[in-house]
Amino acid sequence: MGREVVYCDFCGERLLPKDLEKGRAVVLLKKKYCPKCLKEALEKGRSAGARDAAPPRGEGPPTAPQC
């Protein structure tokens, strides 16, 4: 029996089985990413993560008073 034809959820490009097997294309949280869209998503995540990773100095969650 043949393999299921899988397409990128973002650009519609067909995902090749070898790309999925080697990790160049992935399925993450029920979304399928081709190599190009995966790279773009990771770059956006890094830039957003770097900005949101740590609050500015002196700011952050309140701490409980010490007894």
Is 54 a member of any domain? no
The torsion angles phi and psi of 41, rounded to 5 degrees, stand at -65, -40
In a domain, 29, yes or no: yes
- 64 within domain boundaries: no
| Average pLDDT, integer, range 10-20 | 94
Q: Is the pLDDT of residue 38 over 60?
A: yes
Q: Is residue 32 part of a domain?
A: yes
Stretch 41-61: mean pLDDT: 67
CB 15 within 8 A of CB 24: no
13 domain-assigned: yes
* Banded model confidence at residue 61, pLDDT cuts 50, 70, 90: low
**Full domain range(s) for residue 22:** 6-46
| 51 occurs within a structural domain | no
How many other CB atoms are found less than 10 A from the CB of residue 5?
8
Residue 59 lies in a domain: no
Report yes or no on 39 lying in a domain: yes
Report how many domains make up the chain.
1
Identify the pLDDT of residue 52.
Answer: 54
Q: How confident is the model at residue 45 (pLDDT cuts 50, 70, 90)?
A: confident
